Structure 1
Amino acid sequence: GEVDFSDILGQEFAKQATMIAVAGHHNILYIGAAGRGKTMLAMAIPKIMPLMSKEERLEISKIQSICGLLPKDCALVKARPFRAPHHTISASALCGGGQRPRPGEITMASGGVLFLDEFAEFRPNVLDGLRQPLEEKCIRITRLGGSYTFPADFMLCGAMNPCRCGFYPDRSRCHCTPGDIARYRGRISRPIVDRMDICVEINARESIKMEKGESSISIREKIMQVVEIQRKRFAKSTILWNAQMDAQMILRYCQLLPEDEQFLQEIYVQKGMSVRSLQKVKKVARTIADFSNSEQILRPHLAQALSFRVMEEKYWGGESNASTRH
C-alpha cells in the first residue's frame, strides 16, 4: 500500500532529495543497509506525484490502454503510474519485445515512476537496456516485420544495498571482502550510474524526531508550485520537466553567477566529472532554485545539487575515465 511521508521518521536529507526528484522528474538512487527504509521512501512517492494536466491524463490513459492496463469501465486514468517490477524480470518484459513486440514496464511507467528495488540484483544486461530509453524517452524495437517505437518517459527510482549481504559498513555484521563489494556495485554499469541525477545514502536514523513529519498532501502542494513554474518555463517547447532539458536549454535556463560558474568548473576539473554529470548538477540545481521561487540559481542551490553526487563518487569512484564513456 501507499505510504504517507509523515509516517517516515528522520531521513530529512533523503526526503528532501525525493521531493526534488519528483518535482523535476529526476532519476534517483537510494543506497543503504537492509531495513533502513529505502523501499518505504519509494512507496511514499505515489502520494506526492504531481497531479496530471488534461493533456497528460489523456496521453497516459492512451498508453495505459495500449498496454492493456486500463479497466474496461474506465475511460481515463486516475493517477500517474507507479511500476515496481521484480529483479528477476527479463529484458523484454522490462523494455518491451517479443515476436510480436509488446510494450514493457518502461512504457507502462510512462508519465510516472519506474521503481527498481534491489537495483544491483537485476541482471546487468537488463539494466543496460534502460540506457537508450532514459536518454530518448522512448524505446525502439526492431523486428523483421519492421520497427516499433513505444513511449518510455518515466522517472527512474532505484534502491540498493551497499553490498550483497546488505550490512556494509557495519563490520560486526558484514563480512564481504573489498572485492565482493566492488563486484556487487560493478553490476550497475557506469553509464547507468551516470544517468542517476540524485544519489542518496539512507543512514541509520540520523535524527529521530519523534513528532510526525510533513504530510504527503502538503509536500505535493509544494511540488505542484514547482511544476507550475516548469509549465510556464517550457510552455513553448516539447518538454515538461527540468530533467528533460538539453544542452541548449541548460545554457538558457541554468545560468550561474560568474563566481559560481567558476566554482563549478573547478570542481569539474578537480573531480574529472563528465559533461553529462555537470549538466545533471545544473538541472537538479534548477529544480532546487524553483523550490525557493528563485529565477537565479544561487550557491546554496548548487551546493545541494552537488551533495546528491557525493554517494555516487564514494560508491563508483571518480570519473577519471569520463572521456571514454558515452
Structure 2
Amino acid sequence: MKVLDLFCGMGGFSYGLSKAGYEITGVDINKWVEKIFEKNCIGKAIIKDLKNDFIFDENPDIIVGGSPCKPWSTLNLKKRGSSHEDFVLMEKYFLHVLEIKPAVFVFENVVPVGKDKTLRKFIRKLRAHGYSIYETKIKYSDFGAAIARERYFAFGFYKDKSARKQFEKLLIGSKNSPKTVKHVIEKYRNKEEKEVPDHEWPNLKTIDKYLDKYETGKFGWYILDWNKPSPSFGNIMKTYILHPGFNNGGPKRTISIREAEAIFGFKDDFAFPEGMGKGMRYQMIADAVSPDFSYLIGGLLKTILLR
C-alpha cells in the first residue's frame, strides 16, 4: 500500500511505516530529506514548498503528516495561530485529503491544535465528505516508546465507519509499558564521540552555570532518569537535555544526536547523511513523530485495510 507523508521531515511517520511494509513518498521543503530517505532506504522523497505546491499525482492509499506546530506551540510566545506564517500549512494538508480522498488519513500535531477553529472546520468538512474520524490524544510512552511526548492525532477512514471503530478498539488495546531511557541508550554509554553514526554532541562549557535550572522541572531543563521514559524535549542545541549519568559518575554532557534518535524510536540502522549540522539534526529529531508509534499504527491499519 502507498503512503504520502506530507511535511515528512526526517521521516518519523515514513521510517516506521516503511518498516511496516508500506511504499513511501515523503514531501518536505528541507533539501536534506532526499538524502535522508535515500541513505535509510525509506522510500521516495519530493522536495516541495507545500505553501505553493500540491502533490496530487501520487494516488496514495494513506495520507499522513503533521504540519509545522509553531502556530500552536506553547513555547512560541510571538506569533500564534493564524498570525503565524506556517498556519496555512495545516490547511494545505487537509486540502490534499479532500482532493485525493485516500482510504485513510492520519494527522498529527501538538495537543492545542485540537481546539483550533480552522481544524474544527476541516474535521466537519471531512465528515461531510464521508470520513469517519477518530480524534485522540496520544502519549508515545503509553505505546511502548521511550519518550513521554503527547500529541493530538486524527485518524480518518473514508466511507467506512466500521473500520474507524475497529481501529479505535485495536489502538486502545495496543497500549504497552514504555521503554526506559536505559533500555535505548545504555549501549552508547562507553562509546567515544563519533564511534557510531550521529554519536556526537555540542561541546558546552557553561552547563555548570545552569544547574539550578535543572531543579525547576521546567520544559527543557532535564537530567534524564535511566529508569523512566524521557520527557518530551526540543532542540538540544537550545535546551540542554543532560545525559542520565550526569550526576552519577557518567558523561558530563547533553545526550548525543544518536541517543536522541534512539529515545524517539529510530533504530541503529538509521543515520543522518554526512554534512548536516548538529543543530539541524537535533531539530529534525525534535519535530519527528516517534517511529515506534508509526510502526504500530502501520500494523493496525494493515489489519483493517487488508481484512
TM-score w.r.t. the length of structure 1 is 0.25
TM-score w.r.t. the length of structure 2 is 0.26
* Higher normalized contact order (CA 8 Å, seq sep 6+, divided by chain length): 1
